[in-house]
Homo-oligomer: A and B are copies of this chain.
């Protein structure tokens, strides 16, 4: 069933009110009056609704039933991705949402090729949040994971360190593997996955991350691209926590 997110404030009196953009999607998907859709309030509730009206300005749908969304993972996993070139970060956001990330944080790093300034970064985040919304609808998430910026590398590490299991994926790590780190904390309910830019992290960044309390882990002997590493690590977290 097609899925649409609306603000909880747009659901009242047994009716869900959808905006002009969603009404446009109705036309693209050939959804007309009488058909059923799923409306999600972004807070974990799924409403099965029957479309009662579609205009150029928006649409209305009457609520038939409501259930808690079943697709949210039991572990809250935030992906911290270094700013990489356009398409790669798009891929990270889209696939992280599909795979169950609760949030994506982008941060600057020494070897980042892309260093967007204020206005460019705001535009980029708008684009990434649109990708996240669309991926949340398509993958049937119960929430829309947000894409947020961290102002600096230290700020990102300090935030990432707040999770019960904060993982720093580091190409030069030779001792601790991802599996060992995950097995050491099987009951962690919050996980951070930090991954680097195209050129990897500098040794100084790795040291700072460790000083903040992050656990440096290897993703194995093969070199993963910057957009592949977070997806492999996220798949691993979801698998071992029973969410894949």
Could you list which residues of chain A lie within 8 angstroms of chain B, going by C-beta atoms?
70-71, 91, 94-95, 98-100, 138-141, 177-179, 219-225, 228, 231-232, 235-236, 238-240, 242-244
Contact = CB atoms under 8 A, between A and B. Distances in A.
Copies of this protein in the complex: 2
29 contacts: A71-B221, A71-B222, A91-B91, A95-B225, A95-B228, A95-B231, A98-B222, A98-B224, A99-B224, A99-B228, A100-B220, A100-B222, A138-B223, A138-B225, A139-B222, A139-B225, A140-B223, A178-B239, A179-B242, A219-B244, A220-B238, A220-B243, A228-B231, A232-B238, A235-B236, A235-B239, A236-B236, A239-B239, A239-B240
A232 B244 CA distance: 9
Contact of A221 (B94, B140, B179): B140
A115 B37 CA distance: 31
B224 A70 contact: no
Most chain B beta-carbon neighbours within 10 Å: one of A141, A177, A228: A228
Nearest to A95: B228
Contacts of A228: 95, 98-99, 231
A54 B240 CA distance: 49
A244 B239 contact: no
Nearest to A99: B232
Contacts of A138: 223, 225
A177 B243 CA distance: 9
Nearest to A239: B236
Contacts of A221: 70-71, 140
Contacts of A219: 244
A228 to B, nearest CB: 5
B231 A244 contact: no
A236 B236 CA distance: 6
A231 B228 CA distance: 9
